[in-house]
């Protein structure tokens, strides 16, 4: 297990504010304690590495890495389903991502996301209408979680009433991304494996139904394929569907929750958003820089020896890229610890970069813009009941587990 600053970053007590630790980490841009991973924390190094073909996302290229808390967690889940394209390199990555994108975005489905705008607006309106007691609202349970879950279910063709089933599996699989130093690796592997297996069986049943009775949803379109060269195998289809279902809501929940927390801590910006709904687009970009829902990428490994910042990182080593630290690098951003949606240049790392940049970015952006602008418009005098709020355990997918707020009323 890595010691010192890395274990402090992973420690739950740092979850509410890891940014001072990132600032300390940037003093050693390539941090390595001799046993753990090589940790990269500055903007330009991370950006370059995300575009470097010598860096692999495939865990099978990782050498035995004593001391890496993620390696100790293992990749046992891959025995249940093959790796999703998130954890593959070209050319397999490119083929799977291209086929998955066919029913989702340009050039084959250019209007898919924009065509969802009306449906998204209806869901947001319904959730805000039903917030109930304005003296104590849990914005996660009552809004930030059900909104993207409802949307991803509609998009994929997953019955919304099945959410209690896949919620448990999604929580376990999201936790598997997290290098938790305190968990029992064998127990964690077993839980992750079982969850992937159960989710795979559940999705296999849905896909079978879609093959018999296809609809307009993405599962139907992915299951249909487009000729022998443009079809996913059954196992590829299952792992892709699992990725879309989980990634399609987990990160967006954090983005919306972190966004509302940041706005309530910056009431002048909240007031401005209420008056100027068009501010939502640049505000979400600044939010992705300032409080990114994915804080770090803990699974990268060089395919050859590479040099970063004067340090040679051996082939097969574990590398962590701390996106949230790069986003606050003063060598890249002026006043990086200030939340400023009027920044002229917000080229953040909040959605990754390069071939693994966030697949669902267009939808996540739209969901966050609609959610935050409508919350700002409709909630009268919203205020935090708890600051900092309780956070999720996860250091990778960082966000509040609950966000308790009150308001004076809800505008029509």
Q: Residue length, the chain?
A: 412
CA–CA dist 159, 164 (Å, integer): 11
CA–CA dist 126, 186 (Å, integer): 43
Does residue 343 fall inside a structural domain?
yes
- pLDDT for 178 equals 74
CA–CA dist 8, 350 (Å, integer): 22
User: What are φ and ψ of residue 300, in 5° steps?
Assistant: -135, 150
Does residue 226 fall inside a structural domain?
yes
DSSP 59: G
CA–CA dist 132, 287 (Å, integer): 28
Structural domain of residue 49, as residue ranges?
5-69+89-410
- pLDDT for 1 equals 35
SS3 213: coil
Contact (CB, 8 A) for 384 and 263:
no
CA–CA dist 257, 251 (Å, integer): 10
Does residue 81 fall inside a structural domain?
no
Does residue 148 fall inside a structural domain?
yes
SS3 76: helix
User: If residue 410 lies in a helix (H) or strand (E), which one and from where to where?
Assistant: strand 409-410
How many domains does the chain fold into?
1
pLDDT (tens, 9 = 90+) of the chain, 412 residues, equals 345 899 999 999 999 999 999 999 999 999 999 888 999 999 999 999 999 999 999 999 998 654 555 544 344 334 468 889 999 999 999 999 999 998 888 888 888 888 999 999 999 999 999 999 999 999 999 999 999 999 999 999 999 999 888 888 888 888 777 776 666 778 888 888 898 889 989 999 999 999 999 999 999 999 987 665 678 888 999 999 999 998 888 899 999 999 999 999 999 999 999 999 999 999 999 999 999 999 999 989 999 999 999 999 999 999 999 999 999 999 999 999 999 999 998 899 999 999 999 999 999 999 999 999 999 999 999 999 999 999 999 999 999 999 999 999 999 9
Beta strand 409-410 with 311-313: parallel, antiparallel or unpaired?
unpaired
User: Where residue 324 sits, what CATH number does that domain have?
Assistant: 1.10.630.10
Longest dimension (CA), the chain: 60
Contact (CB, 8 A) for 246 and 165:
no
User: What are φ and ψ of residue 78, in 5° steps?
Assistant: -70, -10
Does residue 76 fall inside a structural domain?
no
CA–CA dist 29, 137 (Å, integer): 41
Does residue 75 fall inside a structural domain?
no
SS3 256: helix
- pLDDT for 225 equals 78
Q: Which residue from 204, 177, 219, 181 is spatially nearest to 77, judged by alpha carbons?
A: 177
Count CA atoms closer than 13 A to 207's CA, side-chain side: 23
CA–CA dist 405, 270 (Å, integer): 14
- Residue tagged 């340009």 (tokens): 106
Does residue 77 fall inside a structural domain?
no
- pLDDT for 68 equals 58
Does residue 82 fall inside a structural domain?
no
- pLDDT for 174 equals 81
CA–CA dist 284, 262 (Å, integer): 11
């Amino acid at each position: 297990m890595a010691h010192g600053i890395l274990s402090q970053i992973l420690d739950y007590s740092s979850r509410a504010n890891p940014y001072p630790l990132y600032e300390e980490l940037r003093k050693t841009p390539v941090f390595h304690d001799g046993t753990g991973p090589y940790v990269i924390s500055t903007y330009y190094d991370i950006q370059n590495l995300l575009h470097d073909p010598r860096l692999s996302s495939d865990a099978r290229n990782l050498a035995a890495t004593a001391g890496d808390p993620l390696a100790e967690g293992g990749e046992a889940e891959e025995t249940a389903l093959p790796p999703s394209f998130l954890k593959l390199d070209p050319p397999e990555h490119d083929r799977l991502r291209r086929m998955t994108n066919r029913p989702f975005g340009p050039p084959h489905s250019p209007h898919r996301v924009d065509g969802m705008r009306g449906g998204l607006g209806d869901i947001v309106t319904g959730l805000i209408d039903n917030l109930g007691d304005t003296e104590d609202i849990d914005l996660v349970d009552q809004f930030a979680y059900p909104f993207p879950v409802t949307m991803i279910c509609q998009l994929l063709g997953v019955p919304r009433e099945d959410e209690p089933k896949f919620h448990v599996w999604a929580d376990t699989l999201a936790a598997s991304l997290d290098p938790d130093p305190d968990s029992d690796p064998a127990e964690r592997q077993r839980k992750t494996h079982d969850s992937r297996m159960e989710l795979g069986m559940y999705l296999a049943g849905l896909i079978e139904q879609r093959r018999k009775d296809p609809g307009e949803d993405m599962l139907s379109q992915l299951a249909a394929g487009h000729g022998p060269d443009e079809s996913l195998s059954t196992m590829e289809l299952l792992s892709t569907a699992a990725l879309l279902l989980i990634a399609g809501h987990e990160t967006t929940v954090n983005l919306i929750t972190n966004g509302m927390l940041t706005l309530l801590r910056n009431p002048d910006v909240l007031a401005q958003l209420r008056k100027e709904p068009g501010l939502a687009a640049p505000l979400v970009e600044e939010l992705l820089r300032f409080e990114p829902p994915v804080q770090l990428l803990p699974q990268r490994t060089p395919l050859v020896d590479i040099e970063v910042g004067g340090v040679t990182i051996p082939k097969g080593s574990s590398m962590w890229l701390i996106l949230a630290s790069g986003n606050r690098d003063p060598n890249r951003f002026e006043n990086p610890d200030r939340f400023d949606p009027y920044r002229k240049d917000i080229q953040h790392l909040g959605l990754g970069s390069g071939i693994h940049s966030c697949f669902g970015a267009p939808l996540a952006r739209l969901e966050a813009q609609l959610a935050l602008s409508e919350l700002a418009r409709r909630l009268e005098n919203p205020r935090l009941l708890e600051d900092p709020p309780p956070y999720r355990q996860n250091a990778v997918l960082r966000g509040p587990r609950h966000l308790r707020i009150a308001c004076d009323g809800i505008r029509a």
